[in-house]
Structures are given as C-alpha cells and as structure tokens.
Structure 1
Amino acid sequence: MKSHLKIWLLIIWGFWINKVLQDVVGGTRPTSQTASSVSDAKLMFEFLLGGMVIDQDDVFLLDEEMASMRKGREFLDRINEGIPKSLSSMELEVSRMRARQQKPLTLDQFEKLVLSMVYSAHQAQVQGSKEERQAWGGVLLQLANITVYELRGSFLLSYS
C-alpha cells in the first residue's frame, strides 16, 4: 500500500473515532455499544494498516489471520457488499448523503461514509486516465466535505 494512501487512511480513521467520541461528548451516555464502537474503530485501523488489495469488485485483507477472524469477515462484508464500486454509483451515494444533511448520520451510516472515502481515495490513485482519477478525486472531496459537515455542522467547501 502506498504511503500517501496510508496517510489518507489515518485521517479517515481519525474522522471515524472522532465521530464516536463526539457522540459521547454530545450527551450520549457511554454504553457497551460505545465501547464496542471504539474497539471496532481500533480494529478497523489495524485492518487498514495491515494492508489491503483493492480490485474493481472486492477488497481483500493481506493479513490472512485478520481476514479469517469473525470481525475481519464482517469488515470485508461491509466494504464489499455495502460500498458502491463504480463511479456513477458512488456519485449517486454522495447525492443521497448530501440530500439528508438535516439528520445526523447513524454510526453505521458514518462508517459507510468513512469506508467510501477509503475506497474513493484508492480509486483516485489507481485509475488509468487522468479524467477518471480527477472524477474519483472529486467524489473523495465531496465525501470529505460531508464528513466535515457531520462533525462540525458546516461544510469545508461550498458548492453554490
């Protein structure tokens, strides 16, 4: 995995753990689910840093032991089944997320947003043509903007 992708993964993981902690600070009482969410965030970080192979259809963990764990299989299912893989379907997902900005995202929706950012960051690096890389980079920027809105209540960039 390229070092700049690892940096993106660190930033994205930081967004996710920040969301979990923000829920606690915002008045949500710490529960076993909150503790589990923090634990899951740490485990996701280990999966991402352990290395992944991403092709057009699926994501695979390089660490076979992690991939064989129940949590590892659940993680791969969430990515492989829950994240759009084509540019057009990812753009549609971004539109849906932007349309529902009045309601805070659930932790599962936020996780999907974070994983979509990871996939988009990868696609922005590996696509063949400059136009495809730029299109995926645009999607990544929009996903990051939605993430900032979710965490701060205001957008980083305005699209008007």
Structure 2
Amino acid sequence: MIAKMPWFVTAWLFLGLGGLKDFCDMSVARTYTLLADASPGNHGGLNPQGFVKSVSDANLMFEFLLSGLEIDADNNIAMLDVELASMRQGRAFLALLNDNIPKSLSALEGMALSLERQDKPISSTRFEALVLGTVYSAYQARRQRPENEQRAWTDVLGRLANVTFVDLRKASVKL
C-alpha cells in the first residue's frame, strides 16, 4: 500500500490554512512515499529509497512534524519530542532531514530554480526533498531576526511552495 501525502499538509502546518478537508480532492495528485520498514543500516535505519510505503508511515511522519522541530546554530535539526526522536523511524527521519535536505539559502534557491525549469513532473525522491526543503525554509523564515534575512527565506519558501503546487497540477492532469 502506498501512502498519499498531499501538498496541503505543508501549507496547513506552516502557512496556517487549517482545514484539511477542503483540500482532500488533491490527495490523489501525488504519491508521497514515507519512512519505510527501517532496517538497522544507514542512518539509524533509513531506507535508501527515502520514505516508504504505508499510510501508517505517512501518519508517523505527520506526527513527527506536528511534534515540532528545532534548528540549532549549526543547522542540525532535532525533534522536540524526545520519545519520538528516539524511535528507529524518528532517527531515520532526522537523518534524512540532516543529511539529505539542502540547508543553505543558496542551495534551496538553486533547488527551486532547477525544479522551476523542469517541464516534466518531479520524481518521488525529488518531491520528498522539495516538500522537506519547504518545511525547513518555513522554520528558517520564522526564526530569522534581521528583516532582510527573513524576507530572503520567505521568498525561497514561496518559490518552493509554488514549485510544489505546479508539480501537483502536472501530476493531477496525468491522472
């Protein structure tokens, strides 16, 4: 069984849209694979293909995001809920965020530019990085103090969100 993780989860969490029911029609637009049956291999059990296969994995990732994340001075991401962070899947999720998601403003701008120029739908792996990069950008935009830095992070957040919406429209046209 494959989990469906629509674009509105990111919007709901970080842009304050609130109601998920209004967006359920788009839930079929993108198959979003999530944390798998993590084997004790790479990074605390991260499946090399990224995220996994089931609705329960999607729910678990949603729980990880809802529990809250924090970014330290070295841009390492940690979960606020220590119990969730200590789970095998929690460690794998944090490893994915810390090892595979661009964390600099210029790297995320480059990601946005690359994806904006792409005509075909984004691969599942790139889509995962896009969504998690959008989440990371939202956290950075919220935590920046100088107004110009906050504006720069907000701009990249908007570009990444726009790329997500455009890709979902492309994917839904194919359905």
Indicate whether the TM-score tops 0.5. Answer: yes
CA deviation after TM superposition for structure 1 residue 6, in Å? 7.3
- Mapped to 2, the partners of 1:109 and 1:18 lie a distance apart of 23
Read off the aligned partner of 1:49 and give its amino acid letter.
Answer: L
Q: Residue 136 of structure 1: which of 153, 156, 168 is its match?
A: 153
CA deviation after TM superposition for structure 1 residue 37, in Å? 4.4
Match of 1:150 in 2: 167
Aligned length: 136
Q: Residue 22 of structure 1: which of 19, 29, 43 is its match?
A: 29
Read off the aligned partner of 1:119 and give its amino acid letter.
Answer: Y
- Mapped to 2, the partners of 1:6 and 1:74 lie a distance apart of 24
Read off the aligned partner of 2:53 and give its amino acid letter.
Answer: S
How high is the TM-score relative to the length of structure 2? 0.67
Note closer, same or farther for the CA distance 1:46–1:9 as it changes in structure 2 (3 Å cut): farther
Contact 2:64 2:84 in 1 (8 A): yes
Match of 1:106 in 2: 123
**Please, which runs of 5 or more residues in structure 1 have no aligned partner?**
25-34, 155-160
Is residue 7 of structure 1 aligned with residue 24 of structure 2?
A: no
Q: Residue 111 of structure 2: which of 90, 93, 105 is its match?
A: 93
Match of 1:31 in 2: none
- Mapped to 1, the partners of 2:27 and 2:12 lie a distance apart of 21
Sequence identity (%)? 44
Is residue 76 of structure 1 aligned with residue 94 of structure 2?
A: yes
- Mapped to 2, the partners of 1:58 and 1:80 lie a distance apart of 6
Read off the aligned partner of 2:160 and give its amino acid letter.
Answer: L
**Please, which runs of 5 or more residues in structure 2 have no aligned partner?**
1-10, 32-51
For the residue of structure 2 that corresponds to 1:60, the secondary structure is: strand
For the residue of structure 1 that corresponds to 2:158, the secondary structure is: helix
Read off the aligned partner of 2:13 and give its amino acid letter.
Answer: I
- Mapped to 2, the partners of 1:18 and 1:58 lie a distance apart of 35
Higher helix residue share: 1
CA deviation after TM superposition for structure 1 residue 138, in Å? 0.5
How high is the TM-score relative to the length of structure 1? 0.72
CA-to-aligned-CA distance 1:35-61 (integer Å, 9 cap, x gap): 824332211110011121112421101
